[in-house]
Structure 1
C-alpha cells in the first residue's frame, strides 16, 4: 500500500521518513524530495508543497532490519545509497528507472554523493578494518582508498568542496574523544581531526561529548553538537577546515543538527522539550523541539514540537534548499508519523 498524502497542516505525507540529516533528500529544484517508506523497504518522491500522494520510486529487496538511507546530489537528480552489500545509484528523472550497481562490498549503511553526481564516498568494512572509498560513478572505479584507524562511519562529502570528505569515529559519546575527522587528498591524506574535543572544553581532562556532524554548504567544514550529557560548553559548534572552531549557540539538549545552504541559520532537534529544566537525556521522554538558530547572533526560535521513536523516526530536521522552511520527521499526539514542514520565521 502506498503512503497516504497529508491530511493535516503539519504533515507533507504520513508513513514515510526523511533521510539521514547529513544527507540530502531534495531534488535540485527543491520542489520534491525523496522519502523512505515506514512499512517496507521502498523509496518514494513527495511534493514538498504538501497534499499529493507520494510517488513510488523503487521497491528494495529485503535486507534484514537495515534502514534505507540515501543521498541525492545537489546539482543533478541522481540518488546514491548502500543497500544489501551494493552501492546503488538511481536516476530520478526516469519514473521507470532501475537501480544501477556501482560497487559491491561489505559496506556501512551511509554513503555520500558529490554535488555533481560524479563521485560517491563510502566506507567498506572488512573485519575490524575500515576503508574510505571514493568511487567514480560512471565507471565504478575506486579512485582512492584510505585506511581508517578506527571504527568509522557517517561518511559525507563536503557540499562546498567535495575534495573534503568527513567521517566519524563511532562509539559512545562519553568514550570517544576524537569523533569528527576530515580527509583531503592533499591537505589531509591520512585524515585530520576536525574538532578538538579537549581543547574546546572548559577542562581538557573532560572532553566535550560531540556528534551528529553535518558538513556545511557555504564553506568546507562542519557544524556539530556538543551533547547536554557532556561537560560544558554544550550546544552547536561550527568547525571550518581553515579556521578555529566556535560555539555558535549554547544549548543543553541539542541532538541532531542541520544548516541552511547560505549558512545563515541552523536547525536542531532536542532531547526533551527545549525549555525543560535539566540537560541531555534527563527526563527527556519521547518529546523533542525543532529549534532554528541564527548563526550570527546565536538566537534560538522554536518552530515546532514533535515526538520521536527509534530510527528512522528521530526528528532529523533539515532546511529546504531555499532556506524558507524546515522538514523533519514528525509523530503527532495521536501517534501518526510522517514528514512535516514548518515555515521559518524571518
Structure 2
C-alpha cells in the first residue's frame, strides 16, 4: 500500500494530498479491538416537538414575539376556512384555546401572525386588529381597529417595547401595491395616530426595541432597509446602501435588539451574503456573519436575541426554499467568537406560514420554529432549549483540522475555504474506496480520559465513518450525511489520551442511502479536548 504523508498542511485551499487507493481487507489500517467508548449527545440543546403534523400548527413571524413567558408559547393552527390560536405550556404540554378567526383560502394571507407583550396578544385577522388578554381565565379577542373602507391590513403587527401600543399598515384592497399608511394604536383607549403615509409599497413596520422613536420598514430587493424618526427622518430614509455593500437582495430585517439601535438583515447573493447590522444613524453597516453564497444552506429569515449577542436563521435547502426542500436552523454568534452551529433541520412549505421562521424567546433561552412535511404541506412546531446558555462549553485545547499533521491511506485530502468554518477553512477527505482513512496527529500535555469534540461539516455527499483514537474505536459510526449543508459538533466522552502525540483516525465504512458521493467524503473544521464534567 502506498501512503503519502503531509505535515504542516497550512492554509492553502485546494492543496491536495493524493494516495493510491486500496480496497477493504487488502490494505485497510488495523484498529484495536475494543468496546466503543460512550458518546455524548451532539449538542447541549434539547429539541422537542410541541405539536404534530396532524395538528397543522405553526409558529409566528420572526419580527414578532410568540412566547408568553418562560413556560408558555402561543401556536397557530390551520383549519378549513379558519385559523385558531392555542397557548401551550412547554414544560407540561397543557394547552388552552384562545381564539378562532375566519381565514378564507382565497385570502392573500389565509393565516394570522401574533405578537405578545406582558400577557397581551395582538393579531390581525378578518381585516381588523385584535387584542387578547392572556391573563384572563377565559380570554377572548377584542377588536381594536379596522382600516378605512377599501383598505386592507397587513398581517404583520408590531408591539411597542413598552407593550402599550401596536403598529400596523394598510393598503388598497386587495393588497398588491401602495400607497401605504402605517398607524399606531393605543391598547388602552384605542386612539389611532398615523405615523407614515406614502405612495410606495412599504411593509414590515417595526419599532426599534432599543430606541422605539425609530421605526423600521422595508421596500425590499436592492433598497430593502428604511427607517422613520419624528426628528431625524420624519418622511423616512434608506439606511442601507446595498450597492456599496455588494448585496443585490436584502430581506427579512428585525429590529429586536435591546442592546443597540439597528436592524439585523439578511443579505442574499453577491460577494457579501450573510447577516448584516445596519443602523439608522451615521454608523457604517457591518457584515457580522458571512453566510453561504449559493442556494445550498443560504440564510433566509433571521432573528436576534434581546442582548444582541446571538442570531438564529433558517437556511434554504439544497435547491432553494420551495415545498419539499429541507433546510436547517442555524445559531450564529454575532461577536464572531464561536462559528455557526446547526440547531436542527426544517422542511420548507409551499407558502406562509410553512416557512421555518425561527425566533428567540424574550429571555433568549429558547428558539421555536416551524417544520413542514414535504408530502402533505402540513406543519408542526419545534422548540430548541439552550438549557440556560447558547455558549459552548469551554475547551482546554483546540486546533484547526487543516493545521494538524495528517496521513491519508487511500484517497486524497485538501483544504477548502468556507466562511462558516472557525478560521475560514476546513479539511476535506475524499476516499477512493471503503476502508480508506484520514489520520491526524495532535499533542496533549498529559494522559487521561477526556471529552473529545469534533466540528464537522455535514453535506449530501458525505459517508459513514468510524472514529478511533490511538487505535481504540470511539463511539458508534458517524453518519455525516445531511440533505442540506449543516455544521455539527459531536462530543465523545471517556476518550483515553496519551501524554505527547495522539492519533485520530476517521475510516470510511459505508454510505447513507441518499448520499450523492460514492464513497462519501468527510469534512472536519476543528478538534477540541476538555476535561470531563
The alignment's TM-score, normalised by the length of structure 2, stands at 0.56
State the partner residue of 2:262: 221
Counterpart-to-counterpart distance in 1, 2:354 and 2:137: 27
Residues 78 and 111, structure 2, Cα contact 8 Å, conserved in 1: no
SS in 2 for 1:52: coil
SS in 2 for 1:306: strand
Report the aligned-residue RMSD. Answer: 2.4
| 2:191 pairs with 1:141 | yes
Residues 72 and 113, structure 1, Cα contact 8 Å, conserved in 2: yes
Structure 1 residue 334 displacement after superposition: 8.5
> Of the two, which has the highest radius of gyration?
2
Structure 1 residue 54 displacement after superposition: 2.9
1:67 aligned residue (111, 128, 134): 111
1:212 aligned residue (240, 249, 252): 252
Structure 1 residue 60 displacement after superposition: 1.4
State the partner residue of 2:243: 198
Alignment of 1:13-32 (within 5 A): 13-14=51-52, 15=55, 16-27=57-68, 29-32=69-72
Residues 13 and 53, structure 1, Cα contact 8 Å, conserved in 2: no
Question: What is the CA deviation profile of residues 203-252 of structure 1, one whole-angstrom value per residue up to 9, with x for unaligned ones?
Answer: xxxx521101111322221101012xx21210111112332110011112
Counterpart-to-counterpart distance in 2, 1:288 and 1:270: 5
Counterpart-to-counterpart distance in 1, 2:341 and 2:115: 28
Structure 1 residue 139 displacement after superposition: 2.3
Alignment of 1:1-346 (within 5 A): 10-14=48-52, 15=55, 16-27=57-68, 29-39=69-79, 40-49=82-91, 51-63=92-104, 64-65=106-107, 66-73=110-117, 76-105=118-147, 106-126=152-172, 128-170=178-220, 176-201=221-246, 207-218=247-258, 219-227=260-268, 230-242=269-281, 243-252=283-292, 253-272=298-317, 281=320, 286-297=325-336, 299-309=339-349, 310-331=351-372, 337-344=379-386, 345-346=390-391
State the partner residue of 1:173: none
Counterpart-to-counterpart distance in 1, 2:123 and 2:321: 35
Choose 77-86 or 124-133, whichever is displaced more: 124-133
SS in 1 for 2:312: strand
Residues 48 and 382, structure 2, Cα contact 8 Å, conserved in 1: yes
Counterpart-to-counterpart distance in 1, 2:357 and 2:322: 20
Q: 1:299 to 1:55 in 2, by over 3 A?
A: same
State the partner residue of 2:433: none
The alignment's TM-score, normalised by the length of structure 1, stands at 0.84
Identify which of structures 1 and 2 has the higher relative contact order when contacts are C-alpha pairs closer than 8 Å and 6+ apart: 2
Question: What is the CA deviation profile of residues 97-118 of structure 1, one whole-angstrom value per residue up to 9, with x for unaligned ones?
Answer: 2222221112112111112222
Count the aligned residue pairs.
317
Gaps (5+ residues) in structure 1?
A: 1-7, 171-175, 202-206, 274-279
Counterpart-to-counterpart distance in 2, 1:37 and 1:260: 26
Gaps (5+ residues) in structure 2?
A: 1-45, 293-297, 392-533
Residues 65 and 362, structure 2, Cα contact 8 Å, conserved in 1: no
Counterpart-to-counterpart distance in 1, 2:179 and 2:227: 18
Residues 355 and 372, structure 2, Cα contact 8 Å, conserved in 1: no
State the partner residue of 2:516: none
